[in-house]
C-alpha cells in the first residue's frame, strides 16, 4: 500500500511524463511542417515513449492501492527558433526529468518504501540513456551549425544515430 506522500510524489511524476509526451509531440509537429521527416519520426517516437513512462507509473500507483491522477497539462512550446534550439530544449528537459526522478527516489528512501524504490530503478536507467542520447544529438547539431546539407543528412540518419547510442551505453 502506498503512503499518501509517495502517492502524491508519483502523481507529480505522472504529470511530468505526460507533459514530456506533449512537449515532444509539439516538436514532432514543428519538424514535420518544416519538412524534416526523420526528426519528426524521432520526436513522435519520443512522445510515445513518454506516454509509456507515464502509463507504467499510472498502473503502478493503481495496483498499489493509490489513485493515479490524470491532470490538466501545461501547454508546450509549439515553435522554435532553430533545430539547435529545439534539441537544446529536449536536452534541458531530460535533465529536468532526471532531477525529478532522483528526488522521487530520495523520497522513497526517506519513507522507507523499498518496493517503490525498486520500481523506480527502471526510470533511473532510462534517464541515463535519454540524457546520453540527447547529448549525442546536440553534439551533432552543434557540428552541423547552419549547414543545410548537414541538416539534410542529419534528418536522414537521426534514427540510426539514436539506435547506436542506445546500443553503446547499454550495460549488457
Ligand atoms: Fe520519461 Fe524522457 O523522460
CA of 130, closest atom in ligand 1: 2
The Å distance, Cα 50 to ligand 1 centre, comes to 5
Alpha helices in the chain (DSSP H): 4-33, 37-63, 83-110, 114-144, 148-169
- Read off the pTM: 0.92
The Å distance, Cα 171 to ligand 1 centre, comes to 19
Q: What is residue 159's predicted lDDT score, i.e. its pLDDT?
A: 79
What is the CB neighbour count within 10 angstroms for residue 43? 24
Average of pLDDT values for 38-67? 97
Q: Say yes or no: CB of residue 130 within 6 Å of ligand 1.
A: yes
Domains of the chain, CATH where assigned: 4-166 (1.20.1260.10)
Q: What is residue 160's predicted lDDT score, i.e. its pLDDT?
A: 80
Q: Say yes or no: CB of residue 21 within 6 Å of ligand 1.
A: no
pLDDT, tens only, 107-146 = 999 999 999 999 999 999 999 999 999 999 999 999 988 7
pLDDT, tens only, 151-167 = 899 999 887 876 666 56
Q: Say yes or no: CB of residue 16 within 6 Å of ligand 1.
A: no
Integer-rounded Cα radius of gyration of the chain: 17
Residue nearest atom 2 in ligand 1 by C-alpha distance: 94
Burial of 51 (0-12, 13-18, 19+ CB in 10 A): middle
Q: What is residue 172's predicted lDDT score, i.e. its pLDDT?
A: 40
Rounded distance between C-alpha atoms, residue 120 and residue 62, angstroms: 15
Amino acid at each position: 500500500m502506498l503512503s499518501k506522500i509517495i502517492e502524491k510524489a508519483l502523481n507529480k511524476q505522472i504529470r511530468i511524463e505526460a507533459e514530456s509526451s506533449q512537449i515532444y509531440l509539439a516538436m514532432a509537429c514543428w519538424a514535420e511542417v518544416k519538412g524534416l521527416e526523420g526528426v519528426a519520426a524521432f520526436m513522435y517516437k519520443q512522445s510515445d515513449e513518454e506516454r509509456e513512462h507515464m502509463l507504467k507509473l499510472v498502473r503502478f500507483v493503481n495496483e498499489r492501492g493509490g489513485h493515479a491522477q490524470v491532470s490538466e497539462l501545461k501547454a508546450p512550446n509549439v515553435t522554435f527558433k532553430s533545430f539547435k534550439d529545439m534539441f537544446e530544449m529536449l536536452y534541458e528537459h531530460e535533465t529536468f526529468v532526471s532531477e525529478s526522478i532522483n528526488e522521487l527516489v530520495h523520497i522513497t528512501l526517506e519513507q522507507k518504501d523499498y518496493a517503490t524504490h525498486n520500481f523506480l530503478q527502471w526510470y533511473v536507467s532510462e534517464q541515463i540513456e535519454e540524457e546520453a542520447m540527447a547529448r549525442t544529438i546536440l553534439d551533432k547539431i552543434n557540428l552541423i551549425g547552419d549547414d543545410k546539407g548537414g541538416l539534410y543528412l542529419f534528418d536522414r540518419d537521426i534514427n540510426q544515430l539514436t539506435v547506436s547510442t542506445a546500443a553503446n551505453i547499454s550495460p549488457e
